[in-house]
Amino acid sequence: MSVTSVEKDVDNLTLTLLADFDAPPARVWQLWADPRQLERWWGPPTHPATVEQHDLTPDGKVTYYMTGPEGEKYHGWWQVNAVNPPSSLEFNDGFADQNGTPIDDMPNSTVQMQLTEHKGGTQMNLRSTFATREQMEKLVSMNMVEGLQEAVGQMDALLAD
């Protein structure tokens, strides 16, 4: 079972997603609360995450980095706003520099996550909101640059064969 509904609100820069899991809320909560489990799903397969600090308490911090195919590291952080095991979690998610220090003018989003019992399993309600339109636009431009760069890199590789 997985994603059952997705809503995208362009005006409020918000993504709302519902997902169903075949496990009780306490078990799904572990995917967030156990750093070793978190790092197995947070990053995409090409950029696996390594969680360094993991403190899911109010004002607590989670720090992590994702490692790309070339060994490049992208550091990120969560700042926990509210936590209520095993049913809800709210945090800000942002980028950090190589030392793990948050970069203020880099895109930052708020994630609100709720777990409820649903049909013998768990429904996860996830809302992610970009902090500002400006930051969101920066993220898109960056992705665009990375995407095109990747394409150019692949072309280079083809030409070199």
19 counts as binding another protein under rule CB under 8 A: yes
Q: Which of 55, 125, 128, 131 binds another protein (CB under 8 A)?
A: 128
Q: Which of 59, 97, 101, 142 binds another protein (CB under 8 A)?
A: 142
Going through the chain in order, the beta strands assigned E by DSSP cover 3-9, 14-21, 49-54, 61-67, 73-84, 88-96, 108-118, 121-130
Q: Which of 37, 84, 132, 154 binds another protein (CB under 8 A)?
A: 37
101 counts as binding another protein under rule CB under 8 A: no
Number of residues lying near another protein (CB under 8 A): 49
* Alpha-carbon torsion (95, 98, 101, 103), positive or negative: negative
112 counts as binding another protein under rule CB under 8 A: no
DSSP state of 56: -
